[in-house]
Amino acid sequence: MPRLSEIAKLIDHSLLHPTLTDDALREGCRVARAHDVAAVCIKPYALPLAREQLAGSRVALATVVGFPHGSGTTAIKVAEALAACAAGAVEIDFVVNIGRVLGGDWRYVSEEIGAVNDAVLTAGAISKVIFENDFYPEDAPIVRLCEICNERAVAFVKTSTGYGFVRRPDGSYGYAGATDHHLRLMRATCRPEIQVKAAGGIRTLDDVLRVRALGVTRIGATATESILAEARGRGF
């Protein structure tokens, strides 16, 4: 059974919702610091605020690039990543060009992932490549993305942004997020040294333990406090 501290170090406390005010972001950093989670994943403009709030802690500073739909040019993603690193980020979660993935333009996708990853590494940070799995009705694009990430030697592959809503037959929108099937597929296809981050729908301790058993080593979560409170209550 993992210890409470080990569960906390699986979590990237997510502070990415567009409605979050600076006060809410400060409170989120307080939560992350109090629980000594792996990282706080914060909106890019708030990196200076987070850097101040987390000074002296062991919580890593992470942010997002091309978020949430991955539609910027490669040059803009590289510039955004470098600016984030200059502002203190040491982990960059960036979204692939989803349209190019669906269109099978693998050269473009590979070159983009390589360009952003190389820039991030040069700046002394690591990258997490967000696939947005809900948009792919078949496994083949996910497998190919994993293969490209193997070739480009990224640090992490990541399932979702949490904002990749798909239109359902009844006209409503929703997303599955990090499914067990996709997590198994990503873990099996990626080289062992490439870690898997699950994001989207991880809301309970049992969710965390389930995906951890599938080989996940990082989890994007907004429900950090309730997850860790449940872990304490169950004797972890």
Model confidence pLDDT, tens digit, residues 26-73: 999 999 999 999 999 999 999 999 999 999 999 999 999 999 999 999
Q: What is the pTM of this model?
A: 0.96
Report the length, in residues, of the chain: 236
Task: Reply yes or no on whether 128 is catalytic.
Answer: no
| Choice among 9, 77, 128, 158 that is catalytic | 158
Dihedral angle computed from the Cα positions of residues 196, 199, 204 and 207, in that order, rounded to the nearest 10 degrees: -40
How crowded is residue 151: how many other Cβ atoms within 10 Å of its Cβ?
12
What residue segments make up the domains of the chain, in order of their start? Answer: 4-233
| Choice among 12, 128, 197, 207 that is catalytic | 197
DSSP 134: G
Architecture (CATH level 2) of domain 4-233: Alpha-Beta Barrel (3.20)
For residue range 147-164, list pLDDT tens digits in order: 999 999 999 999 999 998
Query: Strand runs (DSSP E) across 16-90, as ranges?
Result: 39-42, 60-65
More confident residue, 71 or 170: 71
Task: Reply yes or no on whether 77 is catalytic.
Answer: no
* 127 close to 155: Cβ distance less than 8 angstroms: yes
Q: Report the C-alpha gap between 83 and 123 in whole angstroms.
A: 10
| Choice among 9, 12, 77, 93 that is catalytic | 93
How crowded is residue 95: how many other Cβ atoms within 10 Å of its Cβ?
25
Q: What is the pLDDT of residue 169?
A: 85
